[in-house]
Copies of this chain bind each other. A is one copy, B any other.
């Protein structure tokens, strides 16, 4: 059975690491703050002192960190994974970072004989807890085959999109659609209410037609219940949209809709709503329209 390392035990990483442990894999963990490490050690994991120390002890080492520079440092820095490289090691990054960074890390680690998989996820903290995440994978097919039993402990839909970086490109594409749906949901709920219709009835009427989407299924009931907490934090959505726009600029693809949506999430952060759910972007539309969504 594969020995697994997990570095980065945040809102997503901790429940994902826990599911690996529950599936019976020996687990070595590392995290900047100690509390999450202690929690998983109490459940049977062992603690390591650095990313290099984790890598040296395991067959597969995962990272789940906030942004591109964090992953680059943990993978390639002093005491990083590269310093613990050994034959048979596979590197997997569950973070959402720039495809270009993923490709750079993969190239550097390949130089030490370590294959890499970029494997960002979608499905939020609930998906992480329940092991029902969607995992988008870039990198060598053989490495994915080896790691697949571990992925199965974390997600229900696992798709290899292509070579290094392709998983991150899929995640970029995912965030284009998710942001569009979140903003559209906010706009339509506030317009429905201010125009004199019942927003709940409107959602009921349209969710079975061409407008059907996961967002309309899942988010309005929470908004109608007055719940705007995460879920998926708005500042992470904003960070991901920056990755989308950086990537689009790099490859020369103007994104007229997504660039506007990114501005609305940027406004959301300025308005002090960064720790709320991404669906709480409706708060920006509320402010613009001077109309609060009623709690039925």
A interface with B by C-beta (< 8 Å): 99, 122-124, 133-134, 136-138, 156-157, 159-162, 165-167, 169-170, 172-174, 176-181, 183-185, 187-192, 194-198, 201-202, 204-206, 208-216, 232, 244, 247-248, 250-258, 260-261, 263-264, 285, 288-291
Contacts and interface: CB of A to CB of B under 8 A. Distances in A.
B264 A210 contact: no
Could you tell me the dominant secondary structure of chain A's interface residues? helix
A173 B202 contact: yes
Contacts of A190: 253
A194 to B, nearest CB: 5
Contacts of A159: 201, 204-205
Given A173-B188, A254-B289, A255-B187, A161 B201 contact: yes
Given A166-B197, A201-B162, A173 B254 contact: no
Given A134-B206, A173-B206, A183 B257 contact: yes
A162 B197 contact: yes
A195 B247 contact: yes
Contacts of A179: 184
A248 to B, nearest CB: 6
22 contacts: A122-B211, A134-B205, A136-B206, A161-B197, A161-B202, A161-B205, A165-B196, A170-B206, A173-B211, A174-B205, A177-B181, A184-B257, A187-B258, A191-B255, A195-B250, A210-B232, A211-B214, A252-B289, A254-B285, A256-B260, A256-B263, A256-B285
